[in-house]
A and B are shown apart, each in its own frame.
Chain A
């Protein structure tokens, strides 16, 4: 197993390298970060020229990539525009943990991400748990009561929810749970932000503000997950060992939770393994609609401003997480299912 993991990690290095090159090339023309730097007017030509030089954007793409990857503290750069490289570079490069500085916010990218990541993890972690618990419950229930009215209803609703764009669910839930109750004078859910500024960032406030985004996020995934769980459960329930356990006279609930659930959850492990790392990136659309100060909004705003260091950092972070989680998933899977052996 150790060797397997080591080999997978080694394979990940060229993979991440390819990804970083592709992304870096894409970054070169997702827009002009300097265009909006001068507030509401197009940037003055003299400033544009100076900023390009100071930020290193005048260098050839290859050089910019090298600076991004390994930094530029081993060489000198030209700050004053006299053509002489007189100043020692200060960047350390991604490989040494320096993700660069935001062109727009002028702060280290690491700080920006550090501010937003906890918010995203809170939202997405809650969502993941709601989905997981809900999907397992719904899946088992539908599987046990196969072809009951409940099962058919869940199937139908799942399909509809699954076909909805998340923003439509979000708009609908805002309309039905916030706008309308408000008009009728009923209590309603907040639609924007993490907390009311007047009330402060308290636990009840944050939970209260999380309801609508978590609901919108969960409904779609719940639909997919619970169907998955249902078919996986159905398959397990038809296996011989379940029949044996039943015929031994074991209590029904015991068979269901102790024997069937464990094995039926295996495919869910894979799903979660693929899902978790992308949660780091946050939910772009949901965070935007509900004004949640998370990574998704940071990403979208940074793309809009062509703030390439931030965009690059978020994408690489998510990529690394996906690769790591793929390996982790395989390991956990093998650990849960003794039939699987990695050579």
Chain B
């Protein structure tokens, strides 16, 4: 488990001291709890700053500059012209962390969406219908669960590697490997979510309001997505938030191993590829992208924790 981000499921459940809540609406209550969670606020602010850095920074620095090579200015230490130094072909690391950050954040968010779709669908179907469908889906879930995530990621990265062509979006060219990375992270991380959703569905589907909806002939699709899902949204939001952090970490792992996103598209992860060779010679080469990964993941974890306390107080105690 050490290397995989799966251990996120074992993340400490943050027990904040909480007073008895005065009579407030649910939303107010949640906001109040969240606001009082100092670390969560810190996370939210930090994350906002990181977004400004990656997306706002793009207004100042062009992508062409981030990919601009200058073989004469190879591995230069941080200076005024290159505040974060330069890499092995003389690209500006500051500019690359901006554009790399965009890709890393996008990968984190979209992989979470993929995970959400698969996880919710499988969890909902198997929790709502039960029976043989449940058995089959849960066997499949278990099968994916049994293989450690990093192992599966590496095998799948190799499986899909080089099979997706580069794509152009909004006038920018992205390496096809971005899509591959998003898909494989999504496809290997939904298991935990599916189990949560399934448990929620099993407990909710016997409740009176669902039984009533069924009795008046509401179609199953509407019950699943219109009635049960909104009521189990809290744990899903918490889990989805935390899985953005997990996805960013996963991306950095496989990119670090050289199997993730390929150059020239930068990500924080693949900027660290080959860092081992420069550990002594050029520490700026790995310290900056590495720190940004840690900051992002940390902020998201804080945020997720605050959300858990705010939205889903029942889960506070392990």
Chain A contact residues, CB within 8 Å of chain B: 14-15, 18-19, 22-23, 26-27, 29-31, 124, 127, 147, 155, 158-160, 162-168, 171-172, 174-175, 179, 217, 220-221, 224-225, 227-228, 230-232, 234-235, 267, 271, 274-275, 278-279, 281, 283-286, 288-289, 296, 299-300, 303, 306, 311, 314-315, 318-319, 322-323
Q: How many residues of B contact A (CB 8 A)?
A: 48
Would you give 20 A-B contacts (Cβ < 8 Å), ordered by A?
A26-B156, A30-B155, A31-B158, A124-B2, A127-B2, A158-B12, A160-B298, A165-B253, A166-B3, A171-B286, A231-B15, A281-B151, A283-B3, A285-B3, A288-B257, A311-B155, A318-B147, A319-B146, A322-B146, A323-B146
- Closest chain B residue, CB of each to CB of A306: B158
Contact in complex: B154, A303 (CB < 8 Å): yes
- How many Å from the CB of B281 to the closest CB on chain A? 10
Question: Is there a chain A Cβ closer than 8 Å to B167's Cβ?
Answer: no
Contact in complex: B290, A168 (CB < 8 Å): yes
B118-126, B135-143, B201-209, B226-234 - the one binding chain A: B135-143
Question: Is there a chain A Cβ closer than 8 Å to B318's Cβ?
Answer: yes
Please count the residue pairs between chain A and chain B whose beta carbons lie under 8 angstroms apart in the complex. Answer: 151
Contact in complex: B279, A163 (CB < 8 Å): no
- Closest chain B residue, CB of each to CB of A323: B146
Question: Is there a chain A Cβ closer than 8 Å to B177's Cβ?
Answer: no
Of the candidates A14, A167, A172, A175, the one whose C-beta lies within 8 Å of that of B272 is: A167
Contact with A along B223-262 (1 / 0, CB 8 A): 0000000000000000000000100010011001100000
Of the candidates A19, A127, A155, the one whose C-beta lies within 8 Å of that of B146 is: A19
Q: Which residues of A contact B253 (CB under 8 A)?
A: 165, 167, 285
Q: Give the complex CA separation of A193 and B272 in angstroms.
A: 22
| Complex A-B, nearest 10 residue pairs according to Cβ-Cβ distance, in ascending order | A227-B12, A163-B298, A163-B297, A30-B158, A168-B290, A275-B1, A322-B146, A278-B148, A19-B143, A217-B2
- Closest chain B residue, CB of each to CB of A320: B146
Q: Which residues of B contact A217 (CB under 8 A)?
A: 2
Of the candidates B3, B302, B318, the one whose C-beta lies within 8 Å of that of A159 is: B302
Contact in complex: A163, B142 (CB < 8 Å): no
Of the candidates B2, B3, B158, B317, the one whose C-beta lies within 8 Å of that of A231 is: B317
- Closest chain A residue, CB of each to CB of B158: A30
Q: Give the complex CA separation of A22 and B155 in angstroms.
A: 12
- Closest chain A residue, CB of each to CB of B289: A168
Chain B contact residues, CB within 8 Å of chain A: 1-4, 7, 10-13, 15, 17, 39, 139-140, 142-143, 146-148, 150-151, 154-156, 158-159, 245, 249, 252-253, 256-257, 272, 275-276, 279-280, 283, 286, 290, 293-294, 297-298, 301-302, 317-318
Of the candidates B154, B249, B252, B276, the one whose C-beta lies within 8 Å of that of A171 is: B276
Q: Which residues of B contact A160 (CB under 8 A)?
A: 294, 298
Q: Which residues of A contact B4 (CB under 8 A)?
A: 278
Q: Which residues of B contact A234 (CB under 8 A)?
A: 15
Q: Which residues of A contact B302 (CB under 8 A)?
A: 159
Q: Which residues of B contact A228 (CB under 8 A)?
A: 10, 12, 318
- How many Å from the CB of A23 to the closest CB on chain B? 8
